[in-house]
A and B are shown apart, each in its own frame.
Chain A
Amino acid sequence: MNSQTYIEVKNMSFCYPRSQFRLEDISLQLNRNDITALVGENGSGKTTLGKILTGILKPASGEIQIGKKDIKTLDLGEIGKKVGYLFQNPEKQIFAASVYEDVSFPLEINGVSPEAIKDRTESILKELEIDHLKDKYPFNLSHGEKQRVALAGILVNETEYLILDEPTTALDTDRKELLGRMLQKLHSQGTGILIISHDEIFINKFCGRVLKMKQKGGITDEKV
């Protein structure tokens, strides 16, 4: 076992209540010193696996550890402080009436000091080039803008690991480049990253390890 292992999955199986789809006996380790890509056909279970790793879905059997702790002992809020998860549909994780408030409110609720909140929120908005939108109503933004607002909302937590479900789908070429460079910077600071994506160019450029979902619910490791 790698000393940098952050998320460990052992013999995990999963099935949805009313569906044929299943994941069977999956074992894998996700490390903090990698930017890992998770690829596979539509419907192969990438989003499902991502949701299992963040505790949204509960596996039928097997074990999952995040930072050496059994996922069953953590509640979703605690997981959210360790692992940032970007939904495939960013609208699902936007809550407040302005972009600034949306990015900052979890910090407020968790009792971070006002100065630190202001600092962290403003710098993340600037970095993602959405500081000009900070007073806007998030639900009326474009898809690519929403995606970056949602991303800001999870990056502001400064988590040790990130799972991003198709973060590049709505981004233009420049914004993809921007995202890639941001992820590289976070990676150099010690954040582990898993990117679920179909974007081969992006993966080839930024990811050092590629996991591939196969039909019948298996998974293989393919180095680029």
Chain B
Amino acid sequence: MKKFDPRSKLIFVIAVSSLGVFIKDLYLLSAVTILSLAAAQMTGGNIIRGIRKLKTLYAMIIVIAVLQSIFNNEGRVLFELFEIPLMTTAGLERGIEFILRMTIIIISATIITTSTSREMIQGLVQLKIPYEIAFLVSLGIRFLPMLTEEIKDSFTALKLRGVVLKNISLKKKIRIITYLFLPVIAGTIKKAEKIALSMETKGFRAKKHRTSYLILKYSKSDYYLIAFSMIILLTFTYLNNKLK
């Protein structure tokens, strides 16, 4: 497994995920999905975990496909009930397109996580992004999964206080949600205070210029990856426009 520079990974991920967002054609989208899976495999991204994260979204294919079939009068009807087209070829395509887009985004995110946050910060800094902002970004990325974990725990603890969620009014449900956020926010503020304190003690921003022990250098494989990213970006954009 090759070790790529975080900057070249970032460029690849930006290229692939923007393709994922704007490509309209189903076949091109499938090709991009396969490319992103291959790249994730090559950089050592955890594909299985990415796919597991998508699990709940897969059910959405059906919902989107049915909604699109009913309200979008395109394509051939595959299945209908009382003259309402429940499944059309166009609807099915929309559903699959949606899931391919999500797959591309999540899978390319797993490529990013193969770099440590220190490497990522350094990568951004060497891309001429100010250290403070680079640090902020990586801190944010670290915080997010922690936050979802905390909300889940907090919900479990709340239910265990004997709150039965079945058959209660919407007003009460909203109240429960506000209760959920109080401990999460309080916990987050506490964590943030701790981080701020430790940053202070380690002299964050004490001097104008930061030197770094870690200096990233592009290797040959990085140049290949960047060139490859540019090529697929251009080719797919061209094909997408031509097929319109």
Contact = CB atoms under 8 A, between A and B. Distances in A.
Do A and B assemble together?
Answer: yes
Interface in A75-94: 75-81, 85, 87, 91-94
15 contacts: A75-B165, A77-B166, A78-B164, A79-B160, A91-B183, A91-B186, A91-B187, A92-B153, A92-B154, A92-B183, A95-B158, A95-B183, A96-B179, A106-B162, A106-B163
A194 to B, nearest CB: 15
Interface in A40-85: 54, 56, 75-81, 85
Contact of B180 (A87, A93, A95, A159): A95
A104 to B, nearest CB: 11
Contact of B168 (A79, A105, A109, A159): A109
Interface of B: 153-154, 156-166, 168, 172, 175-176, 179-180, 182-183, 186-187
Given A56-B156, A92-B153, A92-B157, A77 B163 contact: yes
A109 B159 contact: no
A197 B202 CA distance: 38
Nearest to B179: A95
Interface centre among B156, B160, B165, B175 (most CB of A within 10 A): B160
Secondary structure type dominating chain B contacts: helix
B171 to A, nearest CB: 10
B162 A80 contact: yes
A166 B157 CA distance: 17
A58 to B, nearest CB: 12
B182 A95 contact: yes
Contact of B163 (A56, A80, A154): A80
Nearest to A158: B162
Nearest to A57: B156
Contact of A80 (B160, B166, B179): B160
Interface centre among B157, B158, B168 (most CB of A within 10 A): B157
A5 interface: no
7 smallest A-B Cβ distances: which pairs? A77-B164, A76-B159, A80-B162, A95-B179, A80-B160, A81-B162, A157-B162
A80 B187 contact: no
Given A91-B183, A154-B161, 13 more contacts: A77-B159, A80-B159, A80-B161, A80-B163, A81-B162, A85-B160, A87-B157, A93-B160, A95-B179, A109-B163, A109-B172, A109-B175, A110-B164
